[in-house]
């Protein structure tokens, strides 16, 4: 694992590739990279390292943590229901409350530290438990392993915002979570 030297230059740190396009073999014959919007070596290195730090199989980089959360919540459709920890980042709450509710996605706010509250809020159309621990701004703690075990019992995805703890202090995937998201700007 880790970072290996750049094969082209021998640089021991990943270079920042600022190009928008990459050379192609011909029309409709892209090489590994075509346009930076769909991938570039710098972003690929970042995504690979974050996945490695988290113990995950894949990593995806976005322009902000909230953009990553938007992508995750976009997996759910109209009529789906999500359980939302009562002290998640305000931007996450507003995204769900103002954008996704308009698309008929519903949610219930739960005390994510109380498993009986979580279980009581599960509905037939509940698809996920979204929590943040430590939470922002009150630094509430949720037992990720216990919450993920309960979620799995009900076939729910467990999504953890791990911005404050980072994978240095907490690895939600190892504790049973299915998806982890970070904001790199905190």
Would you please indicate which residues are annotated as catalytic (active-site) residues?
37, 89, 161, 186
Nearest CA to 65 out of 149, 173, 160 is that of 160
Segment holding 179, helix H or strand E: strand 179-181
Cα torsion at 168, 171, 174, 180 (round to 10°)?
-140
Structure tokens at 121: 């809020």
| Cα of 183 vs its chain's centroid, Å | 9
Nearest CA to 70 out of 171, 161, 174, 134 is that of 161
Structure tokens at 24: 């192609």
Structure tokens at 177: 């979570």
> Quick check: 158 and 178 in contact, CB under 8 A?
yes
Structure tokens at 125: 């159309």
**61 phi and psi angles, rounded to 5 deg:** -100, 140
């Amino acid at each position: 694992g880790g970072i290996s030297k750049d094969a082209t230059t021998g640089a021991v740190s990943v270079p920042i590739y600022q190009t928008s396009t990459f050379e192609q073999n011909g029309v409709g014959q892209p090489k590994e990279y075509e346009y930076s919007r769909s991938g570039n070596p710098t972003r690929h290195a970042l995504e690979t390292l974050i996945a490695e730090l988290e113990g995950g199989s894949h990593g995806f980089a976005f322009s902000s943590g909230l953009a990553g959360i938007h992508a995750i919540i976009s997996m759910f459709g109209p009529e789906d229901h999500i359980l939302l920890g009562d002290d998640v980042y305000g931007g996450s709450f507003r995204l769900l409350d103002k954008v996704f509710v308009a698309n008929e996605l519903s949610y219930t706010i739960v005390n994510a530290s109380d498993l009986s509250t979580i279980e009581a809020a599960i509905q037939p159309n509940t698809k996920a438990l979204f929590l943040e621990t430590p939470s922002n701004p009150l630094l509430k703690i949720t037992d990720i392993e216990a919450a993920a075990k309960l979620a799995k019992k009900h076939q729910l995805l467990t999504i953890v915002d791990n911005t404050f703890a980072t994978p240095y202090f907490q690895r939600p995937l190892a504790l049973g979570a299915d998806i982890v998201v970070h904001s790199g700007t905190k």
